[in-house]
Amino acid sequence: MTLHMERLPHVDGAVAYLAPMAERPHTYTYDPPPGVPRSNVVGDSRTLPMYDLRALPVPPTLDREGFALLEAPTAVDDLYDDQAVRQIYDREAEHIVAAATGASRVVVFDHTIRRRTPGVADRTPGIPRQPVTRIHGDYTEVSGPQRVRDLMGDEAEDLLKRRFAIINLWRPIRGPLRDAPLAVCDAATVAVSDLVAQDLIYRDRTGEIYCLTYNPAHRWFYAPAMRRDEVLLLKCYDSLKDGRARFMPHTSFDDPTAPPDMLPRESIELRTLAFFPE
């Protein structure tokens, strides 16, 4: 879509890109052996306009920009209740993703609750995950199909012959959310060369995500004061290579207009595999 971006309301937000590196970036998800750095990632901080996606003249879509904002109330009162999330919220998510994408089958495979806890490192045992403060894409050309193989057993190779996508469903647990909102990058403004594969090293395996190097063409958006009855859908992978959005980088950021007495960010995200008949 052709936009006069300067006419859209926005705030200025600092985000962490990847600086150009000679070596392959990697990060350990646990404390590495003594003397080994937790990560070799070199950051490149930029302060950029974060545009109000609610002000777009045409609502963003998963296939065009790689994200979509939907009104989607949930029947689950307590999103910290793991049993209710798995029995009720997962089914809601499957219906939402299927309706938004046209997928014939949706499989929820991951649940993450994030809560801002000052002074606590991410992945501290017994503490909810912290908001992610570095720009990333959850899956790559390699790790997207591998996730299907990891999860779908004997069905995997047949499913990989047809289109599939990985869609995240992201919701504030308490709203309006002002602390560490989610910023999303218009996938149509991201060049393939901007995406750099990074290893995520676990104790039992090595995963792969995308980092993002800076490109002045990038356009960033967010939904101010997201409510609990709203969700953001994020396209993290799409196997179809026909010009539609395939990888959508995202990150949290600090909104400089947020009030000092705001509630700490609490959010829940589900990852889903969306399978298509052809």
Digits of tens for pLDDT over the chain (278 positions)? Answer: 456 777 889 999 999 999 999 999 999 999 899 999 999 999 999 999 999 999 999 999 999 999 999 999 999 999 999 999 999 999 999 999 999 999 999 999 999 999 988 877 777 777 888 899 999 999 999 999 999 999 999 999 999 999 999 999 999 999 999 999 999 999 999 999 999 999 999 999 999 999 999 999 999 999 999 999 999 999 999 999 999 999 999 999 999 999 999 999 999 999 999 999 98
Q: Under a CB-based contact definition with an 8 Å cutoff, are residues 67 and 251 in contact?
A: no
Scan for tokens 């400089």, then name that residue.
Answer: 256
Strand 230-238 vs strand 67-71: parallel, antiparallel, or unpaired? antiparallel
- Dihedral sign of CA atoms 73, 181, 135, 241 in order: positive
Tell me the residue range of the domain where 182 lies.
Answer: 8-30+40-275
* Residue 35 maps to a domain: no
* Residue 3 maps to a domain: no
* Residue 155 maps to a domain: yes
What domain count does the chain have? 1
DSSP secondary structure string for all residues of 91-149: HHHHHHHHHHH--SEEEEEEEEEEE--TT--TT-TTSPBPPP-S-BBS--TTHHHHHHH
Distance CA 141, CA 163 (A): 13
* Residue 78 maps to a domain: yes
pLDDT for res 129:
87
* Residue 162 maps to a domain: yes
pLDDT for res 3:
63
| pLDDT tens digits, 206-239 | 999 999 999 999 999 999 999 999 999 999 999 9
* Residue 216 maps to a domain: yes
pLDDT for res 123:
75
Paired with 226 in beta bridges are 177
* Residue 206 maps to a domain: yes
Map residue 182 onto helix, strand or coil. strand
* Residue 2 maps to a domain: no
Distance CA 38, CA 204 (A): 16
Distance CA 233, CA 230 (A): 10
Distance CA 43, CA 41 (A): 6
Distance CA 242, CA 244 (A): 6
pLDDT for res 256:
96
| pLDDT tens digits, 98-137 | 999 999 999 999 999 999 888 777 777 778 888 999 999 9
